[in-house]
Amino acid sequence: MERITVYCQKLFWEGFLKNFSKTLPLPTNEQIERSKSFMNLFQFLVNSNLVFDYKFIDFLEKTTSCNSPLQNGQLPQTREEIEAMHFQQIVNNYNAGLCGLDFQKDLLSDIAMDDKKLSSVYCLFKTPEECEDLSQKFGVLAIPTLDNYTDYNYLFKDNGKSMPKGEKNDWTFVKRLLKSPFNALVIEDNYIHDDIDNNLLPLLGQILPDKLGVDFHLSIFTNLSETVKVEDLYGKVEKYIQQSKPDLKFVLNIFNDNPRANPKQFHDRKLFTNYAVILSGAGFNPNNKKNQSENLTDINVLHPYFNQDNDWITDSHENYFKVFKSLFVNSSLFTGGNRYSKYYYKEPKTNRLLS
């Protein structure tokens, strides 16, 4: 199983552990949620590809400073022993192949030039305002030093909405559910081209950032019917984003599977960001011309790699991206010829989620 990379400053980690040791839950809903928020984040971190700004020798010292009671099977008594136990958990997971472990001096260097860093998580010894500035500039998830992480519990939950047939839908609820930032988007839906004026376009208007310090990457994987021209679909999406998000620099690609293939390669309808996946049973074209849903359907927002109890969504994420990357590599540029083959439109072909 793949893992997400987390760039974690040592002062964040030590502050996190110090506050973690204070979170034995009291019998109130608030305290239980606070304790769960630390446990969820800790479990995610120690099962990720961790990159610290420790010197290796300093990190090693942290894991061995209180070994005696731990090695003797005794419970840790002091805060230092508890923190050493958590450091040791990382080493144990690394030795078992459950996490990655690396060290870099400057965790934020070259972030704008590195697609991998633009899809990583940042745990920083910074204020919430500083982390929010970083998120808005680059579309990355930056988590500050806090004594309560309940605002990040959404990363570990199934967030969703049931949409009754006939309900008015302006797609604002997706923006409300999709709390994690992003700088790239992959859409997979064979029918995404249907009635895009009431569906795809206003959906993009709600969820795309207004601007970023890097190019936004948008790729659509679909199976266009023989009556739909890829040039027309591309032109409508491009024009809408240019008009609704004038400050957003973006790269758009459309990847088309063979429309005569049977069975089709894709069936489900999903949106993938750097951190989240949005699932829709009826797809992302449920609205009629009155902006009312024509079907009873559910929309779910999940975060692969974060919730260790939902391995299936991570497995699903990896399965889909194997197919996306294969089409990305093997599709030929459409130049106006055969519309019944795998192709993409148009240059440059790029998406940091597929690199």
- Asked whether residue 187 carries a pLDDT value surpassing 70, the answer given is yes
What sign for the dihedral angle of Cα 142, 146, 148, 151?
A: negative
Q: What is the rounded average pLDDT of the residues 112-133?
A: 96
What's the number of CA atoms in the CB half-sphere (13 Å) around residue 218? 16
Highest mean pLDDT pick, 54-63, 125-134, 294-303, 304-313: 125-134
DSSP string over 209-259: -S--SS-EEEEEEE---TT--HHHHHHHHHHHHHHH-TT--EEEEEEE--T
Mean pLDDT computed over 199-217: 94
Average pLDDT in the chain: 86
pLDDT in tens, 220-258: 998 887 778 899 999 999 999 999 999 999 999 999 886
Strands 343-345 and 250-256: antiparallel
Task: Check residues 275 and 36 and name the one with the higher pLDDT.
Answer: 275
CB 331 within 8 A of CB 342: yes
Do 123 and 108 contact (CB within 8 A), yes or no? no
- The size of the chain, in residues, is 355
pLDDT value, residue 283: 64
Q: Residues near 237 by Cβ (< 8 Å), separated by ≥ 6? A: 196, 200, 201, 204, 218, 220, 252
Q: Where are the beta strands (DSSP E) in the chain?
A: 5-8, 49-52, 100-103, 121-123, 141-143, 159-163, 184-188, 216-222, 250-256, 270-273, 277-280, 297-302, 332-333, 343-345
> Percent of the chain having pLDDT more than 70?
89
Question: How many Cβ atoms sit within 10 Å of the Cβ of residue 173?
Answer: 14
The predicted structure's pLDDT at residue 35: 86
| CA geometry: angle 177, 182, 188, nearest 5 deg | 75
- Pick from 131, 60, 69, 130: nearest CA to 101: 60
- Give residue limits of the domains in the chain: 5-153, 157-345
Structure tokens at 62: 């942290």
Q: What is the model's pLDDT at position 151?
A: 94
Class of domain 157-345: alpha beta
- In the prediction, which pLDDT does 337 show? 73
The conformation of residue 71, written as its DSSP 8-state character, comes to H
Assess contact for 233 and 239: CB atoms under 8 A: no
Non-local (6+) Cβ contacts of 327 within 8 A are 221, 255, 257, 342, 344
* Mean pLDDT of the 195-221 span: 93
Q: What is the mean pLDDT of residues 117-121?
A: 97
What pLDDT, in 10s, does the model give residues 46-104?
Answer: 999 999 999 988 888 887 765 544 455 565 667 777 778 888 889 999 999 999 999 99
Mean pLDDT score, 171-186:
92
Q: Given this model, what pLDDT does residue 289 score?
A: 60
Q: What distance in Å separates the CA atoms of residue 49 and residue 56, rounded to the nearest whole number?
A: 16
Query: What's the average model confidence in pLDDT over 285-289?
Result: 57
- Cα–Cα distances (Å) from 194 to 55, 284, 289, in that order, read 55, 9, 11
User: Which strands form 5-8's sheet, in the order they lie side by side?
Assistant: 100-103, 49-52, 5-8, 121-123, 141-143
Residue 246 C-alpha from the chain's centroid: 24
Report the alpha-carbon distance of residue 259 to residue 157 in Å, rounded. 36
Mean pLDDT of 173-195: 90
Say which range, 122-131, 256-265, 295-304, has the weakest mean pLDDT: 256-265
pLDDT at 68: 45
pLDDT on residue 113: 92
Q: What is the dihedral of CA 250, 174, 35, 38, to 10 degrees?
A: -10
Query: CA-CA distance, 350 to 180, in Å (whole number)?
Result: 22
Summarize pLDDT for 7-57 with one digit per residue, the tens. 999 999 999 988 887 766 566 788 888 888 999 999 999 999 999 999 988
Average of per-residue pLDDT across 293-299: 77
Residue 216, exposed/middle/buried by CB under 10 A (0-12, 13-18, 19+)? buried
Q: What is the pLDDT of residues 146-155, one digit of tens each?
A: 989 999 999 9
- Residue 143 and residue 122 in contact, taking contact as beta carbons nearer than 8 Å: yes
Provide, rounded to the nearest whole percent, the portion of the chain with pLDDT above 90. Answer: 51
Residues 6 or more apart in contact with residue 353 via CB below 8 angstroms: 119, 184, 186, 217, 219, 272, 274, 321, 324
